Amino acid sequence: MGRGEIMRIGIFENIMTPGGHEVDFDRILVEELQALGHEVCFYVPEGFRFAMDYHVPVRELRGGVVSYTGVTGFRKLVRTVRRELHRLRWYRQLYEAAKREEVDALIVPTSTYRYLRALKRSVLRKSPVPVLFILHGINPEEAPKFLREADSLADCLNIRPTVLSFGDSIFGEMRTNVRLIYPPTFVPRDIAWQPGMPPPADEFLQIASHVPEAGGKKPLVLGFFGQYRREKRLEDFLEAYLGGHYTRPVELFVQGATMHPEDAADFERIIAKYRGKGGIRFLHRGLIGAEWQRAIASVDALLLPYSAPRYRYHWGGMLFTAIGFQKPVVTSDDMNPEVFAAYDIGKLFPSGNLMLLRKTLELFVNGYDDESLHYIAELQKAADVYSPREFVHRIIAIIKERGSNC
């Protein structure tokens, strides 16, 4: 493996994003690997721009980034072909870096079955060092394609497909060369606040409650955060929230980042319609780093009322933010049901049922004072199991498995 227990680990990142959980996922890998004493560097395509500085060496690969932003139809098809050609160039250069013994292992942090398919035509399948392809979930349509590609690489022992999952199989099937591991939580890294401490002072975001105390109780501050997408059904959720009958003061803070003009226009329409109603306040812009962490730390609970089947198969970034910051949640039963079967960390409502969403919000808000200590205990259990440090220990264990060229 090289140099005893200290390893040099290269991360191949080729997905550019202005922020979000992909950025923080890379940060977990970098900082937790470094905390264990390992050296980390990035390999990226020409022209790649990071959303944040990870303070590690960056090595450019020939072949520029291929973006699909704003491209449809035939032009998108052309870019798909170009991306596949570039992927093969990137793979060859990663193989050459491994042959030069620049690294002891490579990690591809956000993969799909397409990344494995490209290995059929690439010398990287014969990598002299372990290559972990991390998939953030597999849905029923993708599963046969993924398993087929995994089968084609069964003899390539240094190619190690790794799926973030809560189960022990992929829809009842398993392969000896596929690893299943839990995803990691997102925890505060840039602020002094830690779970259990009072909310941080945050005059800039002004999340501190604007609703007056009632009956000696401070308002419960609920937070709805993240990338605004229509599948999150924000407007339906706001109607359910406003229709609730609450026996204690409550306030809702809604933050949304938008990437596309149509999403931005729709979010502004919602803001104009609901601003000031029922203690609802809005922030329309992205948050990263310390701002994002202060915002999450400043609320009492997180609302994730998303109704989309994909959350049954892909881990929820906001759910794992809630666990890392130890905030109870209200969410649909689409959201990573295995987590809620193991830990009582909030309230669930049947996906798509707005009447029961309203009732669930009422139960959560009105019962919060009686149940908050129970939620804290359950969140701590979940945070221990899904911690970033435990996640990286699992990654290291996969790297250290014995392997060879195919």
175 & 262 share domain: no
In this structure, what CATH number is given to the domain that contains residue 25? 3.40.50.2000
User: Alpha helix locations (H) across 100-233?
Assistant: 113-117, 143-152
352 & 395 share domain: no
Output 77 or 142, whichever has higher pLDDT.
142
Spatial CA neighbour of 235 closest among 285, 192, 269, 196 = 269
85 & 121 share domain: yes
Residue 212: band (very low, low, confident or very high) from pLDDT cuts 50, 70, 90 = low
Residue 338: band (very low, low, confident or very high) from pLDDT cuts 50, 70, 90 = very high
* DSSP letter for each residue of 318-341: HHHHHHHHT--EEEETTS-HHHHH
Question: Poorest-confidence range of 99-113, 205-219, 327-341, 358-372?
Answer: 205-219
298 & 254 share domain: yes
pLDDT value for 1: 47
374 & 395 share domain: no
53 & 155 share domain: yes
C-alpha 210/C-alpha 378 separation (Å) is 29
| Per-residue CA distances from 89 to 58, 129, 183, 248, 349 (Å) | 17, 18, 30, 60, 47
pLDDT higher than threshold 90 for residue 82? no
**Angle 392-393-398 from CA coordinates, rounded to 5°:** 95
pLDDT value for 116: 97
3-state secondary structure at position 164 = strand
- Model pTM? 0.91
C-alpha 347/C-alpha 139 separation (Å) is 25
- Strands ordered across the beta sheet of 58-64: 58-64, 39-46, 8-12, 105-111, 131-135, 159-164, 179-181
24 & 158 share domain: yes
Tally of structural domains, the chain: 2
262 & 121 share domain: no
Residues 153-161 have a mean pLDDT of: 97
Spatial CA neighbour of 382 closest among 301, 305, 313, 327 = 327
Q: Residue 352 sits in which domain range?
A: 220-385
Spatial CA neighbour of 40 closest among 16, 74, 10 = 10
pLDDT higher than threshold 50 for residue 222? yes
- Give a yes or no: residue 155 inside a domain: yes
244 & 103 share domain: no
Alpha-carbon radius of gyration of the chain: 22
70 & 114 share domain: yes
Residue 200: band (very low, low, confident or very high) from pLDDT cuts 50, 70, 90 = confident
